[in-house]
A and B are shown apart, each in its own frame.
Chain A
Amino acid sequence: QVQLQESGPGLVKPSQTLSLTCTVSGGSISSGDYYWSWIRQPPGKGLEWIGYIYYSGSTYYNPSLKSRVTISVDTSKNQFSLKLSSVTAADTAVYYCARNPIGTSCYKLWGQGTLVTVSS
């Protein structure tokens, strides 16, 4: 069965770039049936959609973060990645990768999440 696993630094300094990778196992990111997404959750707060990517490289971002976000895909490694630039303390959150079927944006498959803290 398909599983998702986030990886990356747990601590990022203010004004720097947050970088995370999601590794897909048990299935191919190139299957064509899904979008691959990033969602975050500040401690004790609700969920915020960041954006998603198709295996071809097409991307869709939340307008509130669009100027700072880049999502990319590496089909050879079965991974997709998130970069968020110019981070502040407000970007401290658990970051989840998730999968949604084409034509819908509800999420049945999630990674376990990784906490990223922005602090000097």
Chain B
Amino acid sequence: EIVLTQSPGTLSLSPGERATLSCRASQSVSSSYLAWYQQKPGQAPRLLIYGASSRATGIPDRFSGSGSGTDFTLTISRLEPEDFAVYYCQQYGSSPQTFGQGTRLEIK
């Protein structure tokens, strides 16, 4: 199965700053079937990005995804207070689909 490694484990930033989160796959992710989710305490994950770079419906344009093959990035251009949460990447190009271990984005 494809192992996804997210870095950093924790990212400490201030509102208004730019956040760059990384997701590296142990094998190439076919057809860029890579998604990003945001999860806040006590809530289900929320889909942000699918197909590596397509924003899900209703997701603000400060969220963007990029990458292909084994290296993917989620960028939040200007952090809002509500963006501080845990972020997961998921590959769904190979079975079984797998998730990364998460990056915690915390307020500095």
Contact = CB atoms under 8 A, between A and B. Distances in A.
A64 interface: yes
A53 to B, nearest CB: 15
Contacts of A48: 99
A45 B86 CA distance: 11
B29 interface: no
Interface stretch (A8-16, A26-34, A72-80, A107-115): A107-115
Contact of A111 (B37, B44, B57, B97): B44
Q: Name, among A48, A49, A64, A105, the residue most crowded by chain B CB atoms within 10 Å (CB to CB).
A: A105
Say what secondary structure dominates the interface of chain B: loop
B20 to A, nearest CB: 20
B96 interface: yes
Contact of B99 (A47, A98, A104, A111): A47
B21 to A, nearest CB: 14
A113 B44 contact: yes
Given A49-B98, A60-B95, A112 B44 contact: yes
Tier of interface size on chain B: 20 to 34
B56 interface: yes
Interface string B93-105: 0011111111000
Contacts of A60: 95
Interface string A84-120: 0000000000001010000011111011110000000
B16 interface: no
B44 A49 contact: no
A112 B97 CA distance: 21
A100 to B, nearest CB: 8
A62 interface: yes
23 contacts: A45-B101, A46-B88, A46-B99, A46-B100, A47-B88, A49-B98, A49-B99, A60-B95, A62-B96, A63-B1, A63-B96, A98-B44, A104-B50, A106-B33, A106-B47, A107-B37, A107-B45, A108-B47, A108-B57, A110-B45, A111-B44, A112-B43, A113-B44
